[in-house]
Amino acid sequence: EPEVTQTPSHQVTQMGQEVILRCVPISNHLYFYWYRQILGQKVEFLVSFYNNEISEKSEIFDDQFSVERPDGSNFTLKIRSTKLEDSAMYFCASMGEGSRNSPLHFGNGTRLTVT
């Protein structure tokens, strides 16, 4: 069964550094998302992306965050200058046809640790 893949599985970085989290969504999917989950808390929406542009973003997704689909397969999340509070699990998700019954397919996540 096709799956969403994310790399790396764990990223450790120093405060103020830039990080890029990578995702390969399911190949025929059209809608892409980033969510984050701080340890022990809920899954929080960051941004959705469709047709090569951001369709919606949350308050968390400030100017330090950006997303890109540089080619036909990758979907990346960049954090320009990381803060301690950015430490979390970041999940990429994709969705197929966009009908109301289509589920989100999540990757296994990247655990980001900012020191």
Give me the residues that bind other proteins (CB under 8 A), please. 4, 33, 35, 37, 39, 41-45, 48, 55-56, 89, 91, 100-101, 103-109
Query: Considering the complex, what minimum distance in angstroms separates the CB of residue 100 from other proteins?
Result: 5
Q: What are phi and psi of 23, to 5 degrees?
A: -145, 140
Query: Considering the complex, what minimum distance in angstroms separates the CB of residue 16 from other proteins?
Result: 26
Q: Which is nearer to other proteins, 12 or 17 (CB)?
A: 12
Query: Considering the complex, what minimum distance in angstroms separates the CB of residue 98 from other proteins?
Result: 10
Q: Which is nearer to other proteins, 70 or 103 (CB)?
A: 103
* Gap between the Cα atoms of 99 and 17, Å rounded: 39
Closest to 46 in 3D by CA, of 65, 25, 69, 30? 65
Q: CA 56: distance to chain centroid?
A: 13
Beta-carbon contacts of residue 59 (< 8 Å; ≥ 6 apart):
none
Q: Which is nearer to other proteins, 56 or 68 (CB)?
A: 56
